[in-house]
Amino acid sequence: MKSSMSLRNMRDLVSTVSEELKADRAEAERIIAALLDRPLFDLYAMDRISEREQRTISAAVERMKRGVPVEYLTGRVQFRDHVLSIHPGVFIPRLETEYLVELIQKELQSAPATILEIGTGCGALSVALAFVYPDSRIVATDISRVAIENVRQNVKNFRLASKVHIVQCDMYEGIAGRFDLIISNPPYVPRARLKKLPKSVKDFEPITALDGGEEGVELVQKLIEGCGSRLSDGGLMAIEIDEEAVNIIELLLRKQGIYSFRFHKDLFGRWRYLFIGDHDEKG
């Protein structure tokens, strides 16, 4: 973006950003609001854009043209009602995962006393669940050191340290006890599909958060295998999955002798979630 360009008003700026990033106006507005840390509805109320703001936007647009996700530039990501810190090198939470929280609320008859999240990333799910179930004790784990630093910051920012216990570990390693809710959005992209991911994902988001092995179920399988010894009686395990992995996951479940399971679709109509555990309709 040419920093010499004279941007008379927000309309000019939105047009320029939209052209530069080949994004529609709504997307350009969202990006500018995030970069200027302003509410979207308030954007056109800005009567002038300072030179400093123009330089900020200009530099950010150049980096975004190289594929850097806007969330890594602003250091913030919205997840449900919360604005979380996000560090470069940590998976950026997606809309599909926000919806997982809704489904869990619909399914659970009562608040879980104990929750285990495996692969917490920046901690979005654990933070959201800590607000939905304020009396629950949560253990949030991840194998990645940068993710652990990121979740620590979010837990501190949201004053959840007394509720969310953070552990750096590989899957269930070192985790004792049983949990009423086990939740995970593990890496689940089948290896052959990794190279087809958008540049902003494959070049900037961590491979350990994406690579699900040959068929995208390597970690899903480990989660399922641990279910018997980790889930409380009457507990629920909820896992986000690849939409094309339903059949293979069904085979894995039957091999483990697990018959009480169901799949749910996401907001885009794709099979996206596996729920394990006895299920009674909420009354």
Ligand X SMILES: C[S@@+](CC[C@H](N)C(=O)[O-])C[C@H]1O[C@@H](n2cnc3c(N)ncnc32)[C@H](O)[C@@H]1O
Tell me the closest approach of the beta carbon of residue 4 to ligand X, in angstroms. Answer: 39
- CB contact set of 93 (below 8 Å; sequence gap of 6+): 77, 79, 84, 86, 121, 122, 124, 125
- Pick the closer one to ligand X by CB: 198 or 234: 198
Residue environment code for 176-191, b if the CB has 16+ CB neighbours within 10 A, otherwise e = eeebbbbbbbbbbbbe
Tell me whether residue 13 or residue 139 sits nearer to ligand X (CB atom): 139
CB of 7 to ligand X, least distance (A): 35
The nearer residue to ligand X, 102 or 170, going by C-beta atoms, is 170
Closest CB 60 distance from ligand X, rounded Å: 23
Kindly state the smallest distance separating residue 222's Cβ from ligand X, in Å: 7
3-class DSSP state for residue 58?
helix
Residue closer to ligand X (CB basis): 24 or 203: 203
3-state secondary structure of 140: strand
The contact set with ligand X (CB under 6 A) reads: 91, 93, 97, 118-121, 124-125, 141-144, 147, 170-171, 185-187, 208-209, 219
Q: At residue 192, what is the residue type?
A: A
Nearer to ligand X, 32 or 122 (CB): 122
Rounded CA-CA distance 111/135 in Å is: 8
- From its phi and psi, is residue 4 left (phi > 0), alpha (psi between -120 and 50) or beta? alpha
Q: How far apart are CA 219 and CA 173, in angstroms?
A: 13
Q: Closest CB to ligand X among 142 and 266?
A: 142
Amino acid found at 34: A
Q: How far is the CB of 239 from ligand X (least distance, A)?
A: 11
**Antiparallel, parallel or unpaired: β 261-265 and 179-184:** unpaired
Separation between Cα atoms, residue 259 and residue 279, nearest integer Å: 11
Shortest distance in whole angstroms from residue 185 CB to ligand X: 4
If the CB atoms of residues 56 and 206 are measured against ligand X, the closer one turns out to be: 206
Distance between CA atoms of residues 5 and 15, nearest Å: 12
Q: How far is the CB of 93 from ligand X (least distance, A)?
A: 4
The torsion defined by the Cα of 227, 233, 239 and 244, in degrees rounded to 10, comes to: 80
User: How far apart are CB 3 and ligand X at their closest, in Å?
Assistant: 34
- What angle is formed at CA 74 by the lines to CA 72 and CA 75, rounded to 5 degrees? 60
Nearer to ligand X, 95 or 192 (CB): 95
